[in-house]
Amino acid sequence: MEKAEEIIQLFKQVRTLPHIISRLTRLINDENSTLQDFEEVIRSDPALVARLLTLVNSSYYGVVRKVDSISRAVALLGMKNLHNIAMTDALQAMAGRDNIHGTFSFNRLWLHCTACGICCKMIAERIFSINGDDAYLTGILHDIGLIVEVQVDERNFIRAFDALTADPPSIVELENRYLGTDHCRIGYLLAREWLLADPIAEAIRDHHAVTDDLTPASARGILQLSEYIVSQLGYPMKSGVSLPLAPVLANHLQDNMAEYKVLAEDLPDEISRIRDMYEN
């Protein structure tokens, strides 16, 4: 992890990691925290306040009366939703303005991560009947290490990314060849720094590991299913590149094909709604 930690420290010299994330995570992990505690933390970040009020008044939430106070917004969205909004904003802030570096595009990555977050949430809730908030967070953050790498060592990152094709070597192998670490390790360390739950951090760390020692309903299983689906639907990390699917996940997908077909049909509309919400 030494090289990954070094890259994170270099990144912090370029961009400040939002400390509000760990403060909100602590509140979520504290069963005695209240909505008032969340409101107090949010007030310390004017940019988050503005985004929160914009989102809660968007057509996505369909509120009848305009919400003009933080307390009402927090009460309406709930603590988990609020935390996920803050994390999504953090991801956007870390990426900054769109640039195309070789074959790498921040906009394409943002769309891929957004699609994965939404798809993870849909799989968790529709297929496995579990709460999808943590699944969304896993999906939206799984490639955060790529954002860090390209801004710390653009030349070597682009060498790795430009060499990526549908055939081996994988992006992880190329990153380790050119940068001495990979985005999975970097993402894992950031997730730990932000005090995210172990299953989220571990899914980010292992999301390129194609093995049979996982269950489809696990955080990593849901994330790998999501990456496969969104890539098949035209939202890959890089055009023409799709991740392989472990046999255990391929079998699960085949056994539940009817449900996944409906999910795949609904996914583009859900992605459009989220994009409109965050881009307006």
Angle of helix 35-42 relative to helix 70-77, nearest 10 degrees, comes to 130
Share of the chain above pLDDT 70, in %: 92
Beta-bridge partners for 101: 104
Model pLDDT for residues 83-109, shown as the tens digit of each residue:
788 788 777 777 765 666 778 888 889
Of 1 and 5, the structure prediction assigns the larger pLDDT to: 5
Average pLDDT across the chain, whole number: 87
For residue 249, pLDDT beyond 90: yes
CA distances from residue 271 to 22, 121, 128, 139, 266 in whole angstroms, order as listed: 27, 12, 20, 13, 9
Domain of residue 262, residue span? 2-279
Model pLDDT for residues 21-63, shown as the tens digit of each residue:
778 888 888 888 887 888 888 888 777 788 778 877 876 666 7
For residue 242, pLDDT beyond 90: no
CA–CA separation, 106 and 87 (whole Å): 17
What per-residue confidence (pLDDT) applies to 87? 80
For residue 170, pLDDT beyond 90: yes
Nearby residues of 143 by Cβ (< 8 Å), 6 or more positions away = 109, 112, 113, 116, 183, 187, 237
What per-residue confidence (pLDDT) applies to 100? 65
For residue 1, pLDDT beyond 80: no
What per-residue confidence (pLDDT) applies to 190? 92
For residue 280, pLDDT beyond 60: no
| Number of domains observed in the structure of the chain | 1
Q: Collapsing DSSP states into helix, strand and coil, what is residue 134?
A: helix
CATH code, domain carrying 255: 1.10.3210.10
pTM score, whole prediction:
0.87
For residue 188, pLDDT beyond 70: yes
Share of the chain above pLDDT 90, in %: 51
